[in-house]
Structure 1
Amino acid sequence: MADEKQIANISESGLSQSDEEGQEITWTEAEEKALVRRVDLLVMPLLILGFFALQLDRGNIGNAMTDFFLQDIGITQFQFNIGQQLLSAGIVLLEIPSNIILYRVGPTIWIGAQIVAWGFVAAFQAFQKGLGPYLVTRLLLGICEAGFIPAGLFTLTRWYKRDETTTRFSVYFIGNLFAGASSGLIAYGILHMRGICGLTGWQWLFLLEGLFTILVGTLFIALFPLSSSNPVSLLGIRYFSEREAQILQQRILRDDPTKFQARRNISLAEVKATFTNWRLFPHFFMTFFGLAPAHTMGSYAPLLVVSFGFDRLKSNAMISIGAWVLIITNVAWGVIADKTKRRGLMVALGVFIFWGLTLGNRLLVESTNGNLRFGVLTAAMAFQAPWHAVNGSWLALNAKTAGERSITLAIFISSANIAGIVGSQIFQAEDAPLYRTGWTVILVLVSLALLMSIVANLQYWLLNRFQKRVGNERYHY
């Protein structure tokens, strides 16, 4: 394997590298594209499936609320919000430690074990009763899910080049978005099972979706390749030849030598450099301010639709419309950002559109036109987060080392889950059903997110002007 100095000195004009025996490896552009397509069909589906299971188990409680969940287990709306905060808190507490473990043991075992673990917790939620068990299961679910999202993002950076990652980050989030889009439809069917075997509809919802997650985790452990340099599953399935594996690894190292790191631990210097990097603050604050409202909508969208005058169970299916459109906007944002290489601009544009629709929701809070309110809410859900994956890719591209990239992505997703802690308390029972105060808070938060997106773009523009004068490498924006 070439060392960092060898990699850094490779000619930019050729598609050749040297293997560990000093023999030159050459490949054509067509051959490389074919290999990338095979990676897309191997790595992406398993990560997307894991993300799909994560969002099903994290978000199905919003559907359960339309099936008398609060009344059945005997908790108040305020206590429900506390449980949602505990889920986010559990994720935040172990986000960074989880990514450090990932760095040592690899994605196949660590990510797969996580999926199986939270699958068991999700399934056993079906048998909770009372405040104590509810709070414990939400906390355990968060602890088991901690680190999955940044682990997937970091894993993608090991398989793809810099101008390929934003699109793949956005495609990775399809798992999350597809779950959000289909969960209402799935819940609509499962909740009608109330009474079968003496179980409520929400019990069947937790049980069946938890068992599905356990199956997904088992498949991930069995089939996901160990690494690009060793593309073999734990079952012994070899997906690429030795030469193909060398091409896959070396094309990444040629594109970004910082992704090469022989040691399997993150240094203290990398941790310190990440936490003291002031350039990251606008990204993290933007994520926090912008995603808190998304968490609120995820939990309360079905009940909001009911308050507009629509049927209790049909509301679960209706909210999926915005989520389906969000899949399209999310992928479009990633593809455009990669093609134009203007990730910062796409982030700011996405937040601005969300801000405009949030303003619309606040202005319509007194409206009696249920169809209009549903339409604006649906549009807001369709544009609530297409910028999020692009923001993550923007951060990853500007990380200086692999270890710093891992920690940066962990903190990035932690800020999203801290947003969940705040988002879980925006809507209060005394503010129902119009939630005047809640929508005002959401508008303020999205306004701050918009400001942070402008600050993030401005700082890189100013830094790059300075970098150009002194002849240093410029930042991506």
Structure 2
Amino acid sequence: MAAPTTTGTNHDGQVDNPLEQGRQFLQMLRNRITNPSTRNPNMSWESNAADQIALQLQEDGHQKWGFVIYRTTYESDNGWAEFIRRLRYQMDDVFEYLGGRDVLQKCKLTVIEDRNTLDGASTDHVRRHFQQWAIHNYRLEQSPSGNDGTSQVAIGRSSRYRYALQVDGDSLHSLVHEAPDPADIDTTSKGWVKLIDKSWYLGRSEGGFEVYEPIEGVTERDVGWMQVAYQDVMSEWFAFPSRTLPSSTTLNIKGSMEKSKNDEVVMTEYVQDPETGAKLHPVAKLDYSGAAAKTGPREIKLVRKLDLWIMPMLWLMYWLNYLDRNAITLAKLNTLEEDTNITSTQYLTCVSILFVGYIVAQVPSNMLITRVRPSWYMAGAMALWAIVSALTALANSYTSLLVTRFLLGIVEAPFYPGAIWLLGVFYTRKEIATRISILYSANMFAMCSAGLIAIGVFDMHGMAGVSGWQWLFIIQGALTFVVAVASAFVLPNQPLDTWWLTEEEKQLAHNRVTRDTVHASSSTGSIQGLLVAMKDPRVWLFVFMQHMHLAANGFKNFLPTVVETLGFEDQKVTLALVTPPYFLAGVISVLWAASSGRFNERTWHLTIAKGIAVVGFIIGTVTLNTGARYFSMILFCIGTYCANSIIYAWTASTCGQTVQKKASALALVSTISNVAFIWTPYLWPSSDAPAFRPAMISSAGFSIVCAGSAWVMKFWLMRMNRKIRMDGDKRVLRYAY
């Protein structure tokens, strides 16, 4: 089929027909008087594409313009290079005439190519990718320089995010072999490209077109694109949304409506520098929820830098957090109860009271963290808990031990939800689960190393008249204080306020998380963020889910005691046997979270983890065999700890529309779920040893309920995603489950 007919307009707006030339001359005279273009007085303002594009940029608040170009032919690299050369020439020539050099400088020539997936691709295949690309990139590309990233940038009328160009074998042949050299004025319009309408969805506009007879072997299903002359494609055609669609063009019905086997279209994008032609960065890979894997070298380099600065320090802080918090469980194996004259029930109360202080302080703490420098705030909190932990060594009665544990809960409260919030403002949905799991592994390695540390420290029992458990609190408290001081200089604040990031890295760190947030909104006040979080019913389902998870995790304060019931008389053997379950759980949970992040999947990962925990609890219930019981401890440790990071990551990505809401949602989930640690210790009385059947059965039940609530959340988010697709663009960012 021949290319569609056009008027054969040349660069100065004239045509070959003498009558038409006369009409244009009279129109030009009128325009000079009534509505001249400030860039070229020989043209009207309405007919000057540079004026129209400038107006688009101004009204939409955009910084860049220009069609995205898809290369779908790879027979000739030289031919492609010649097309790019000719296109640049035409752009330069046209905008010189239009007086639009200032507008041309804002043009961003973007080319998307991939020989493996795009060679011979249909217009439908290109359209599918462009729909994803537009939603994913417009906010990032158009954020004004110096913008804090929270203002909403709309797609507006810009053709850049509504139409794309496709250059296939036929169009490239017309451009390189048929069109005259760019040095000549192309009045024949032989060179053409395909202009694809992003918004064309099968079933919306073409109704029963598929029943029509084939034309040149193809039915009229592949509509929504046309051939356009390449000489004016970056001027007249880009500006046409502000005008009436030229009547001289006709829809082209060539092509095929091939269905992609997978909704996820993976290609490589590069942005060409208009001056050098250099390839600048690749496009992201989008999954079912619109989440993107990092592919650009700048982003990969940034994430590595974030990992090197953030993760080691947070990991060390959390490791010490748990060493200090759970030192009491090891102190019980020494002479704590004798030195403080407490009963078994009073000991359980001292374990539980920490979480009362924890709950009291967490929500206000996470509201405060968004209003201060997070690095100083978390470092200060750590210094305070180091002091309180060391002072626990002075406890000599039930009252003094109870008070120090309560205070320890208050000063430790800011750390974990604050750390999760900090990860949430620097890492995307695909990245955060792995990072939370790495962070949480510090908890498990604290349990591993705590027993080994205690073996050495308890050998100091009686030195300087101080008991072994007192030395444990003193040494760990001193180490914690040193790390607290260092953390003030290492931890980041928010992406736009971190001293060890360059200005470019700050903006990239901010933008990539903003574009990965479903229904991202402008920042609000801390109180407003709390109120919005409390009104979100999904937050309360996450609270319930995490509460059930932590209820099943009640064994963590009693595992040394449970291991002691295996019957080994040597205390050092008991302490050493606490290490393997936590070590294995730590390693496997990181790998499990990495899998969850890679596939952006939550529900099945959580269900399988809880299933493993249930098997472990059941084995521990039905047998007293030493080997089987120890194996059950390994299983329920692995299954339980694999689930923790997934729930927090899921919360952060689902309920993080603003940084204040994210902080409040995480604090609510952490605070209320930790109530479990107030009442679950009473499920593990020493009188139930060695089987602890009520606790084991209860923990299995809590695990099943936790997994069930995950499925409720999955179906809920699936319904919300369907509503998102029905209400607007089918390729917008959606919730992950």
| TM over 0.5, shorter chain | yes
- Please, which moves more after superposition, 148-157 or 437-446? 437-446
Distance 1:255 1:463 in 2: 17
SS of 1:227's equivalent in the other structure is: coil
Give the C-alpha shift of residue 178 in structure 1: 1.9
> Which of 220, 223, 235 pairs up with 2:490?
223
Matched with 1:114 is 381
- Please, which moves more after superposition, 38-47 or 429-438? 429-438
Q: Does 1:240 align with 2:501?
A: yes
- Pair 21,55 (structure 1): closer, same or farther in 2 beyond 3 Å: closer
Q: Does 1:90 align with 2:357?
A: yes
Distance 1:469 1:11 in 2: 16
Q: Aligned ranges for residues 371-450 of structure 1 at < 5 Å?
A: 371-399=627-655, 400-450=657-707
Distance 1:192 1:436 in 2: 34
Distance 1:360 1:55 in 2: 28
SS of 1:193's equivalent in the other structure is: coil
Letter in 2 for 1:299: N
- Please, which moves more after superposition, 87-96 or 420-429? 420-429
- Pair 464,21 (structure 1): closer, same or farther in 2 beyond 3 Å: closer
Matched with 1:195 is 462
**Could you give the per-residue CA deviations for residues 232-286 of structure 1, whole angstroms, max 9, x where no partner exists?**
2xxxxxx2333333332333333338667556x3243x32332232223332222
> Which of 539, 542, 557 pairs up with 1:299?
557
% same residue: 25
Q: Does 1:255 align with 2:516?
A: yes
- Pair 285,262 (structure 1): closer, same or farther in 2 beyond 3 Å: closer
- Please, which moves more after superposition, 147-156 or 369-378? 369-378
Higher Cα Rg, which structure: 2
Letter in 2 for 1:475: Y
**TM-score normalised to the size of structure 1?**
0.89
Letter in 1 for 2:736: H
- Pair 260,229 (structure 1): closer, same or farther in 2 beyond 3 Å: farther
Q: 1:291·1:385 contact (CA, 8 Å) conserved in 2?
A: no
Q: 1:95·1:410 contact (CA, 8 Å) conserved in 2?
A: yes
Distance 1:262 1:357 in 2: 45
Distance 2:350 2:505 in 1: 48
Distance 2:662 2:61 in 1: 20
Ranked by relative contact order (alpha carbons within 8 Å, sequence separation 6 or more), the top structure is 1
Letter in 2 for 1:300: F
Letter in 2 for 1:172: L
Give the C-alpha shift of residue 47 in structure 1: 1.2
Distance 1:18 1:416 in 2: 41
Q: Does 1:287 align with 2:543?
A: no
Letter in 2 for 1:372: A
Q: Does 1:149 align with 2:416?
A: yes
Q: 1:51·1:175 contact (CA, 8 Å) conserved in 2?
A: yes
Q: Aligned ranges for residues 121-132 of structure 1 at < 5 Å?
A: 121-132=388-399
Distance 1:148 1:21 in 2: 30
- Pair 74,402 (structure 1): closer, same or farther in 2 beyond 3 Å: same
**TM-score normalised to the size of structure 2?**
0.59
Name stretches of at least 5 consecutive residues in structure 1 with no aligned partner.
233-238
Letter in 1 for 2:582: A
Matched with 1:333 is 592
**CA RMSD across the alignment:** 2.6
Distance 2:146 2:533 in 1: 32
Distance 1:392 1:415 in 2: 13
> Which of 566, 569, 573 pairs up with 1:308?
566
Distance 1:21 1:287 in 2: 36
Number of residue pairs matched?
A: 459
Matched with 1:235 is none
Letter in 2 for 1:349: I
**Could you give the per-residue CA deviations for residues 146-193 of structure 1, whole angstroms, max 9, x where no partner exists?**
131111111112212232222222122122222122111111221121
